[in-house]
Structure 1
């Protein structure tokens, strides 16, 4: 598959990329915000490790929300 520049993509594909990027950044921002405000004793594992994991595309924030937080 040949590389395409941004201008060569269809409007629908450009929109899909922008939406996917916004969702990814929103998930990461929400996860980092929660991690920063959550006490360390209510996080499974080290907070600095989770901070790094959250940076991994969609997988990191979803993993944090699923396995990183302890229930109230």
Structure 2
């Protein structure tokens, strides 16, 4: 069985990819949560609490909210 590596033992490229991926996830979630907070209830497809919870599902949740959770103005 392969020994698990710590983050600082990974090659620089792998560390950079992990950091970029985490940053993208955090930015997407921030955009989704901010939009959800500021959008009136009648402009959201479904319950706001459900979309807020879904935004914590990696990548899929925020993208799903931004794609189908908002009603068109």
User: Would the TM-score normalized by the shorter structure come out above 0.5?
Assistant: yes
> 2 CA distance for matches of 1:34 and 1:2?
42
Question: What runs of 5+ residues in structure 2 fail to find an aligned partner?
Answer: none
Aligned pairs, how many?
Answer: 72
Q: Post-superposition, which runs of at least 4 consecutive aligned residues in structure 1 deviate over 4 A? A: none
| Aligned-CA RMSD value | 0.8
Instruction: Tell me the TM-score normalised to structure 2 length.
Output: 0.94
Aligned position for 2:14 = 13
What are structure 1's unaligned runs of at least 5 residues?
none
Give me the TM-score of the superposition, normalised by structure 1. 0.96
